[in-house]
Structure 1
Amino acid sequence: MSVSPLISAEQLQDLLRQPSLHVLLIDCRYVLTDPAAGAQAYAQGHILGAVYADLGEILSGPANQTGLGGRHPLPDPQRFAKDMAALGVSQSTLVVAYDTGESVFASRLWWLMRWIGHEAVCVLDGGLQAWLKAGGELSSQTPQPTPGALSVHQPSRPTVGFEQVLGNVSDSKLQVLDARSPDRFRGENETMDPVGGHIPGALNRHYKDNLDADGRFKTPSQLRAEFQALLGDRPAHQLVHQCGSGVSACHNLLAMEVAGLYGSALYPGSWSEWCRQPGAPIEGS
Structure 2
Amino acid sequence: MYSTLVQVDELNDLLAAGSVLIADCSYDLFDTAAGRKAWHEARIPGAVHVDLGKDLSSVSDGTNGRHPLPDRETLAARLRELGLDRDMQVVAYDRSGGFYAARLWWSLRWLGHEAVAVLDGGFQAWCEAGGAVESGDAAARPAGDFTASASLEPEPIGADEILSGLAEGAHRILDARDAARFRGEPAPLDTVSGHIPGAVCRCYRDNLGPDGRLVSVEQLRAAFDPLIAGVERGAVVSQCGSGVTACHNLLAMRHAGLGGARLYPGSWSEWTADPSRPIATGD
Match of 1:237 in 2: 234
Match of 1:34 in 2: 31
Partner Cα separation in structure 2 for residue 80 and residue 266 of structure 1? 18
Between 80-89 and 163-172, the greater mean CA deviation after superposition: 163-172
Describe how 1:93-172 pairs up with structure 2 within 5 A. Answer: 93-141=88-136, 142-158=138-154, 159-172=156-169
Q: 3-state DSSP class of the match of 2:166?
A: helix
Match of 1:5 in 2: 4
Partner Cα separation in structure 1 for residue 213 and residue 249 of structure 2? 14
Partner Cα separation in structure 1 for residue 144 and residue 122 of structure 2? 25
Match of 2:208 among 206, 211, 215: 211
Task: Judge conservation of contact 1:63–1:73 (CA < 8 Å) in 2.
Answer: yes
Partner Cα separation in structure 2 for residue 170 and residue 143 of structure 1? 55
Partner Cα separation in structure 1 for residue 215 and residue 172 of structure 2? 23
Partner Cα separation in structure 2 for residue 94 and residue 4 of structure 1? 9
Q: 3-state DSSP class of the match of 1:78?
A: helix
By how many angstroms is 1:278 displaced?
A: 3.2
Q: 3-state DSSP class of the match of 1:209?
A: helix
Match of 1:272 among 252, 258, 269: 269
Task: Judge conservation of contact 2:238–2:264 (CA < 8 Å) in 1.
Answer: yes
Task: Judge conservation of contact 2:26–2:96 (CA < 8 Å) in 1.
Answer: no
Q: TM-score, normalised by structure 1?
A: 0.95
How far does the alpha carbon of each residue in 1:130-182 deviate from its partner, in whole angstroms, 9 at most, with x for none? 10111102101413111111111112212101100111211112101100010
Partner Cα separation in structure 2 for residue 135 and residue 237 of structure 1? 42
What is the percentage of aligned positions where both structures have the same residue? 47
Partner Cα separation in structure 2 for residue 229 and residue 129 of structure 1? 32
Describe how 1:220-235 pairs up with structure 2 within 5 A. Answer: 220-235=217-232
- Which sections of structure 2, spanning at least 5 residues, go unmatched? none
Please say if 1:15 is aligned against 2:14. Answer: yes
Task: Judge conservation of contact 1:115–1:157 (CA < 8 Å) in 2.
Answer: yes
- Which sections of structure 1, spanning at least 5 residues, go unmatched? none
Q: TM-score, normalised by structure 2?
A: 0.96
Q: CA RMSD in A?
A: 1.2
Q: 3-state DSSP class of the match of 2:249?
A: helix
Between 92-101 and 205-214, the greater mean CA deviation after superposition: 92-101
Q: 3-state DSSP class of the match of 2:23?
A: strand
By how many angstroms is 1:234 displaced?
A: 2.3
Please say if 1:192 is aligned against 2:189. Answer: yes
Task: Judge conservation of contact 1:98–1:106 (CA < 8 Å) in 2.
Answer: yes
Task: Judge conservation of contact 2:240–2:268 (CA < 8 Å) in 1.
Answer: yes
Cα distance change, pair 195–101 in 1 and its aligned pair in 2 (3 A): closer
How far does the alpha carbon of each residue in 1:109-130 deviate from its partner, in whole angstroms, 9 at most, with x for none? 0000000101110000000011
Q: 3-state DSSP class of the match of 1:58?
A: coil
How far does the alpha carbon of each residue in 1:48-104 deviate from its partner, in whole angstroms, 9 at most, with x for none? 000001110001111113x12x10000000000000010000101111000015001
Please say if 1:85 is aligned against 2:80. Answer: yes
Aligned-partner residue type, residue 125 of structure 2: A
By how many angstroms is 1:232 displaced?
A: 2.6
How many equivalent residue pairs?
280
Partner Cα separation in structure 2 for residue 18 and residue 156 of structure 1? 26
Aligned-partner residue type, residue 244 of structure 1: G
Q: 3-state DSSP class of the match of 2:22?
A: strand
Q: 3-state DSSP class of the match of 2:167?
A: helix
By how many angstroms is 1:248 displaced?
A: 0.3
Partner Cα separation in structure 1 for residue 182 and residue 139 of structure 2? 41
Aligned-partner residue type, residue 15 of structure 2: L
Q: 3-state DSSP class of the match of 2:238?
A: strand
